[in-house]
Amino acid sequence: RIHTDFEKKFIKADVVNWKDLADNNWWTKARENWKVKMEWKEYIVQDWDVMLFKFGG
């Protein structure tokens, strides 16, 4: 059920490497330092990616 919802409502994901996330003291600083990338459905997840998924209604 979850996978179907992901597929239907997925818009994008914010992606950051875990080391960049730790070095920048979490999401806010990582964004300020341009370490967070916005990716779409075609993105191939890499080892150590941390992802924040965005969904539509």
pLDDT tens sequence across 15-53: 999 999 999 998 999 999 999 999 998 899 999 999 999
pTM attached to this predicted model: 0.81
Count up the domains in the chain and report the number.
1
Q: Residue 25 burial (CB < 10 Å; 0-12/13-18/19+)? A: exposed
Picking from 38, 33, 7, the residue whose alpha carbon sits closest to that of residue 21 is: 33
- Average pLDDT of span 11-17: 95
Range of the domain at 30: 2-55
Picking from 46, 48, 20, the residue whose alpha carbon sits closest to that of residue 32 is: 20
pLDDT of residue 8: 85
* 1/22: higher pLDDT: 22
The CATH number that applies at residue 34 is 3.10.20.30
pLDDT of residue 46: 97
Pair 16, 48: CB distance under 8 Å: no
Predicted confidence (pLDDT) at residue 2 exceeds the cutoff of 90: no
